[in-house]
A and B are shown apart, each in its own frame.
Chain A
Amino acid sequence: MSAAILPLPAARRALSPWQFWGRVLIAPYLVIFAVFVLYPVLYGLWLARHPESYVRLIDDPIFFRTAINTIIFIVVAINLKMLVALALSGFFVQARWWIKVLSVLFILPWAVPSIPTILSVRFMLNPEWGVINTTIFRLTGLDGPNWLNDPALALSFSMLMHVWKSLPFWTLILVAGRLAIPLEQYEAASVDGATRWQKFRFITWPSMRSLYLTSTILSMIWTLGDFNSVYLLTGGGPADLTHVLATLGIRYLRLDQVDLAMASIVVALPLVLPLVYFMMKRLSK
């Protein structure tokens, strides 16, 4: 055996078929990422590079209003949604045949596309012939309010719409979380004489706390991107008073003010990126 031949370090040897195909098979996604994520992001940031865009943005009263709307939306809609999801998760784990049937129907808002359903609600809210106002008239003889013409009511309905659509998903997640808790813990607590509330406080909640937090954070991120619930219900109106972050960008785009559109997104990044970072730490492995 010739001892003079030194073994080559692995990096300099030719790629084994396994390494070769590893790179080839991951390439399609990398191409998609580079062409449709990296480039648009960089291009978008480049479009938002002028400091004076931000000055114009802040001077725009609509932007200020949008920021408030967005914050209200996030704080109210998400907490409402998550609390209801938490409560309903306890409901849906009960073993009754009709609850099982109900859980199947309950998924519909999430499974079905939003346009038909949001438009359906929009028509329910029509001040002249919508179901709600005609029912109010029939019961009381009074004219119901012009729901979507009042900014506060319009925004509230957008939030309700958002909750309607996304509640099933989060309820499902929390149900899965509940099912992961071993039944014996509850049985032991029963033997110890715990009330339902005590069981929740000492068994359910400690196990679910982390999942609830993660879900809330993720829900916040996605709610920031809920375009449909506002746009299809109110169009951002009346008078651009119910815009949220997701719809504002499009508004500027339609007014051909692309730099403002991008600036409005960039301005939101300090809020979004920490939340995303938090989620990544939780879930990436």
Chain B
Amino acid sequence: MATVSFRDVKKRFGSTAVIHGVSIDIDDGEFVVLVGPSGCGKSTLLRMLAGLEEISGGDILIDGRVVNDLESKDRDIAMVFQSYALYPHMTVRENMGFSLRLRRAENRTIDERVMQAARILNLDKLLERHPRELSGGQRQRVAMGRAIVRDPKVFLFDEPLSNLDAKLRVAMRAEIKQLHQRLQTTTVYVTHDQIEAMTMADRIVVMQDGIIEQIGTPLELFDSPRNLFVAQFIGSPAMNVFDGAVRDGAVEGLAASWPMPPGVGAPTGQQVQYGVRPTDLQLGSRGIAGTVVVVEPTGAETELLVDVGGQQLTVVTHGRVTAKPGQSIKLLPDPARVHVFDTRSGQRLQ
């Protein structure tokens, strides 16, 4: 158990700066997810925390102690790699016990800890197998088992579910989350998948191009995105966004008038981007006119593409609808849940 802090951390490869001063404070026992598109620096940040990359500027602290110059093995961390990185020539048992063996721990201790971790992860029947005899999901669990045996201060996960198929991914997500609830170890988890972030994190750090766009709980990011990037990155299907201009307390866009969120004011004429989530557009008899393009019933919900003023907006409603393609309908946005972003800065108006 331990706190983790990034203080104005910078990273350069040669003369190219890839991380431009990142600061994050992680509490003891927290599950923090670093999420962002490829190349945003999330893996680099994780590897700097792990000690696999040099830190070009700033400090990283674990449990209040600066670890910049500490070797990986002295940082008391454990890491689960995207490609599992299991030792092919060792059995599952030997893989999991390797770190203890390096420390010259007693055989009895090694056996106990390995058995304990194996039981938690349902690996007790597989202990004598070699990695090549295991499925992807089993290998991933062995990788986690190896980390658990270490009993470290911090768990690091580097896109661990990327190599698994969709169904397995969903199952493993829950397993990892349950593991965290049980062990309460501080966890830093990197992924490019925002659904993983939303479902697993206590707090999410959204990154782009080496800087932090926003830090917050999943719901905070969903309800109050600080800028356009976060608004469009978080949430699936993505938020509808279109150009508009402020006019007399409302936003004119797509040949219609859209409500401003309560308490938000902007001068007439300001160029803005209007954002409204698919779930916040109500189908009904009142509101903004549009034409149905496609209807996609997914069973419990229905997803519709509606043409409004030349742009296709996504609408998601619970249950079934009677609308058909070509039909005219009306959309009512929920004013309390819409977002207006300044076109130039991308920041949300508040």
Contact = CB atoms under 8 A, between A and B. Distances in A.
A282 interface: no
A1 B68 CA distance: 14
B76 interface: no
Contact of A10 (B54, B59, B71): B54
B59 A1 contact: yes
A7 B71 contact: no
Contacts of A13: 69
A17 B72 CA distance: 12
Contacts of B57: 7
A16 interface: yes
Contacts of A10: 54
A13 to B, nearest CB: 7
Given A1-B59, A7-B57, A10-B54, A16 B71 contact: yes
Q: Which range contains the number of A residues in contact with the other chain?
A: under 10
Main secondary structure of the interface of A (DSSP, over half): loop
B7 interface: yes
Contact of A17 (B59, B69, B71): B71
Interface in A172-196: none
A7 B54 CA distance: 12
A241 B197 CA distance: 83
Interface string B108-128: 000000000000000000000
A152 B54 CA distance: 68
Given A13-B69, A16-B71, A17-B71, A1 B7 contact: yes
Interface in B7-44: 7
B344 to A, nearest CB: 34
Nearest to A16: B71
Interface string A3-40: 00001001001001100000000000000000000000
A146 to B, nearest CB: 62
Contacts of B71: 16-17
A7 B68 CA distance: 10
A160 to B, nearest CB: 47
A57 B71 CA distance: 62
A17 B55 CA distance: 18
Interface string B171-182: 000000000000
Nearest to A13: B69
Contacts of B7: 1
Nearest to A8: B69
Interface of B: 7, 54-55, 57, 59, 68-69, 71
Interface of A: 1, 7, 10, 13, 16-17
9 contacts: A1-B7, A1-B59, A7-B55, A7-B57, A7-B68, A10-B54, A13-B69, A16-B71, A17-B71
- Nearest 6 Cβ contacts at the A-B interface: A10-B54, A1-B59, A1-B7, A7-B57, A16-B71, A17-B71
